[in-house]
């Protein structure tokens, strides 16, 4: 191959590589500062962690209430002699035990979400490493195209993570 053809081929390959790198930079910029703040990697792990905590709290509330009902049924059973009423208490007791068994979903859900959190964290670390390589200021200059939120979507910013957003007293003050 002639030196002229080799130079043209090299230029073509370099141009293709440059275009590919530009696309990669745009993708990294879109990940590091998306138009839609709800899709930022930094908050995804926090959002998933909040799901696990909220599910755990709700599950514990359900279990405590169910255990209280089962205990009340047990106390009530001691004072009854009617077979029909005792059968109804048995039905309530069995239903309570079924609820307690069903609440085991929370542990499995938590384990699975934690696996997803680890994956998201790994991706976030890799993206941040690439941003460090190219430089934050360089990535910030890359134009990011994305869907713009509607006016209604811009108003919806919840549910908030613990410690973020308004607390209940601030919301109550809005209605005073």
Domain count, the chain: 1
> Helix-strand-coil percent breakdown of the chain, rounded to 5?
80, 0, 20
Q: Is residue 174 a part of any domain in this protein?
A: no
φ/ψ region of 34 (left if φ > 0, alpha if ψ in -120 to 50, else beta) reads beta
Q: Is residue 168 a part of any domain in this protein?
A: no
Q: Is residue 157 a part of any domain in this protein?
A: no
pLDDT value, residue 83: 95
pLDDT value, residue 34: 55
Q: Is residue 171 a part of any domain in this protein?
A: no
CB 28 within 8 A of CB 130: yes
Q: Is residue 38 a part of any domain in this protein?
A: yes
Q: Is residue 154 a part of any domain in this protein?
A: no
Whole-angstrom Cα Rg for the chain: 28
pLDDT value, residue 74: 95
> Which tokens in the block code for residue 17?
């590589």
Each of the 176 residues of the chain gets a pLDDT tens digit; together they read 888 888 777 777 777 776 777 777 667 666 665 555 554 555 677 778 888 888 999 999 999 999 999 999 999 999 999 999 999 999 999 999 999 999 988 888 888 888 888 887 787 777 777 777 777 777 667 666 655 666 766 666 666 666 666 667 777 777 87
Containing domain of residue 87, as a range? 3-143
In whole angstroms, give the CA distance from residue 31 to residue 120: 12
> Which tokens in the block code for residue 90?
């048995």
Burial group, residue 147, by CB count within 10 angstroms (0-12, 13-18, 19+): exposed
Q: Is residue 166 a part of any domain in this protein?
A: no
Q: Is residue 148 a part of any domain in this protein?
A: no
**pTM assigned to the model:** 0.55
In whole angstroms, give the CA distance from residue 88 to residue 130: 64
Angle (nearest 5°) at CA 15 between 9 and 5: 15
């Amino acid at each position: 191959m002639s030196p002229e053809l080799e130079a043209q081929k090299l230029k073509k390959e370099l141009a293709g590589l440059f275009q590919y790198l530009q696309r990669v930079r745009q993708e990294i910029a879109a990940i590091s500062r998306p138009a839609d703040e709800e899709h930022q990697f930094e908050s995804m792990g926090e959002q998933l962690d909040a799901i696990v905590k909220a599910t755990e709290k709700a599950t514990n509330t359900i279990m405590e209430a169910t255990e209280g009902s089962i205990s009340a049924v047990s106390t009530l059973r001691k004072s009854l002699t009617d077979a029909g009423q005792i059968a109804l208490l048995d039905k309530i007791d069995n239903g309570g035990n079924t609820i307690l068994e069903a609440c085991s979903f929370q542990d499995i859900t938590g384990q699975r979400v934690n696996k997803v959190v680890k994956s998201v964290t790994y991706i976030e670390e890799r993206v941040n490493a690439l941003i460090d390589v190219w430089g934050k200021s360089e990535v910030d200059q890359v134009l990011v195209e994305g869907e713009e939120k509607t006016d209604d979507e811009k108003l919806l910013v919840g549910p908030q993570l613990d410690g973020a957003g308004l607390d209940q007293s601030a919301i109550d003050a809005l209605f005073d």
